[in-house]
Structure formats: C-alpha cells, structure tokens
Amino acid sequence: MNYALMAFRFKTQLSSWLAPTQTAQKLAEGFLTPKRFAIKDWEHKAEQQGQRFQLAPDISAIRWLGKDEDSAKKGVENSTVGSNKQILLVHGWESRGTQLFALVEGLISQGYSVVAIDMPGHGHSKGETSNAYIFSQTVTLAQQVLGHFHAIIGHSMGAGATSIAVGKGVSTDKMVLIAGPSSIENVLRHFTRFVGLNANTSNKFIAAIGRIVGIPASEMDATSLLGQCKVPTLLIHDVTDLEVPYSESKRLKLVLNNAQLLSTQGCGHRKILKSEQVIQAINDFVTAEK
C-alpha cells in the first residue's frame, strides 16, 4: 500500500472542497511541469550511435543514420533529410528521444534515417514547462525544418501530439500511435479522478490548463481532428495499460479510415516499447508498401 499516495490524495480531496480555484491552479501548474530523470546506461549507447543536433535553439534532437557508411561520413546536414527514407520518433511525457531507441535498430537496418526529438522541457531540450500542444507544434516544426517523414511514430503523449499535428496538417505516409490518448481532455479527466478531485475542481483544473496552454483541451481531440484522415495507421495498446486506458486506442480506431489495432497483454504502458512483438510489427508496417 502506497501511504504517500494515499496521503496526497486525501490532502488533494480536502483542498478541492475548501479552496477549489487555488487547488485547480496549483495542480495545473504542477501538471505542466515535467520531471527530468537520470539518463540510463543503455541510453548512453544510443547517444554514441547517433548524431545530436539542434532542431531549433532550444530544441535538441538526435539522428541515427541508415546502414550506409558513405551517408554517415557526410554528417547530419547532408543525410537523408526530406527523403522518403526518414522517420520521426516522438516520445511521451517525462521521457526523451533515446528512450525509443529499441525501435531504431530494425529501422536503420532497412536503410531509414531515424530522428528523435527531445520535446521542450525534456531531455537535452531547454524549458521548465511543456504540454501536448507544444509537443504537436514541435512535430510541425520538425517537418518544416527536416522535410517529409515517411512515418511518424509516437508513444503516449507523443502519440497524442502526433495525432494533433497530423490532424492540423502535418503530412506523413504512415503513423504509428503507441499507447496514445484519443483526447487530451480524457487524459486530464483521468488525472483528476486519480488524484481525487471533485467535479467542480476538476472542471476548474481543465479550464486552468486551457488558459495556461492557450487552447482549450476540448480542441485537442484526435477523434475530431482525424475524422477524415486516410493516413495508414498502426495503433498499438496494451489492454492492461493503467496510464492511458486501452479504450483510447479503440476510440481512435472508430474514426480513422485506414487503421489497424495491435493489442498486447501484460506489457503495460512503458515496457511495450521493448516488446519484440511490437518492434517487429512496427518494422513490418513501416517497411510494407502502401
């Protein structure tokens, strides 16, 4: 039993009744301030195999080149930028690009150049706060700077951001959305239930998030934004996911015109990224002809 969590929930429940506006504002500010965790040993290997560069002054990214020594010798600037052999990886909340490295080896072995961005407030990028809308704008920036991506692969909040970006005009041949939300408001509602907010404070919290971000959460619903989307999409979600419910991918599949859903069992929200079944499915999907 997690007594610290129980105590936090009790304190939050109490303050949501006594001071709903202040509680909502404080929680919103904390919610949008991601924690940064120490880099793991295996991520150092990922760094050594890639080439880090600045997508923008405050945004760091890393590229792993396809198995082509001549291309590698030319460096980042002259690699497969803008070609149909370029893939973008979009990490989740409180993560970073190198944590998607398990997906990289199979893709570069097929000749793809793989780019992973550290989102604002994450990894090597600057910033103290972040949000799903900023994530999606960074995906848009990546296309503007680097050109067309054959596929965009997102995990968790990165999958949600990919959905928003494509829904707002980013072009790609294929999408892979792993354990992603269909609606940012659903994410926020899930959080308010987890911390024990009452209905009034929950609504104030969601409104506070909208004010801080600059766009209401209701306008970041992928089921609306992707309603006419024909991009071939692979949805991947574990039925036991406790962070983003499996129902989110099922909800997305209902509106996408060209999507398939791979359901896993027992991988949860994060281990799914290292599942051999998932890695193989992504390789097969990305490399297959349309």
92-130 per-position pLDDT tens digit: 999 999 999 999 999 999 999 999 999 999 999 999 999
Asked if residue 12 has pLDDT above 90, the reply is no
What is the widest separation between alpha-carbon atoms in the chain? 65
Output Rg (C-alpha) for the chain, integer angstroms.
19
Count of C-beta atoms within a 10 Å radius of residue 13? 16
Average pLDDT over residues 59-72: 76
pLDDT given for residue 16 in this prediction: 81
289 SS3 class = coil
Q: Does 224 reside within a domain?
A: yes
Q: Is the pLDDT of residue 34 over 60?
A: yes
pLDDT at 5 over 90: no
Report the distance separating Cα 145 and Cα 125, nearest Å: 16
For 59: left if phi > 0, alpha if psi spans -120 to 50, otherwise beta; the answer is beta
| Model confidence at 206: pLDDT above 70 | yes
Predicted TM-score of the model (pTM): 0.91
Considering only residues 84 and 163, tell me which one the structure prediction assigns the higher pLDDT. 163
**Token pair in block for residue 141:** 């920036």
Domain count, the chain: 1
Q: Which amino acid is at 179?
A: A
Q: For residue 107, what are the domain limits?
A: 41-183+220-287
Q: Per DSSP, what are the bridge partners of residue 113?
A: 86
| Inside any domain, residue 207 | no
Share of the chain above pLDDT 90, in %: 83
- Is 149:112 a contact under the CB 8 Å cutoff? no
CATH number at residue 158: 3.40.50.1820
In a domain, 8, yes or no: no
What whole-number percentage of the chain has pLDDT above 70?
92
Provide the pairing of β-strand 51-56 with 233-238.
Answer: unpaired
In whole numbers, what is the pLDDT of the chain averaged over residues? 91
- Cα(244)–Cα(172) distance, integer angstroms: 24
Q: Is the dihedral of CA 180, 182, 184, 187 positive or negative?
A: negative
**Would you tell me the crossing angle of helices 199-213 and 20-31 to the nearest 10 degrees?**
50
Strand residue runs (E) in 161-283: 172-178, 233-238, 259-264
pLDDT digits (tens, 9 = 90+) for 208-232: 999 999 999 999 999 999 988 899 9
Is pLDDT above 80 for 6? no
The predicted pLDDT at position 68 comes to 58
Give the Cα separation of 64 and 49 in Å (integer).
7
Does residue 81 surpass a pLDDT of 80?
A: no
Looking at residue 84, its pLDDT comes to: 61
pLDDT value of residue 1: 52
Does residue 70 register a pLDDT over 50?
Answer: no
**Range 24-33 average pLDDT:** 95
**Nearest-angstrom CA–CA distance, 83 and 150:** 8
Long-range CB pairs of 45-53 (<8 Å, 24+ gap) are 45/101, 46/98, 46/101, 46/104, 47/98, 50/98, 50/116, 51/75, 51/76, 52/124
Quick check: is 6 in a domain? no
Residues near 168 by beta carbon (within 8 Å), at least 6 away in sequence = 136, 140, 225
State the pLDDT at residue 73. 45
Residues with Cβ within 8 Å of residue 119, at least 6 apart in sequence: 59, 90, 91, 125, 130, 134, 135, 138, 158, 161
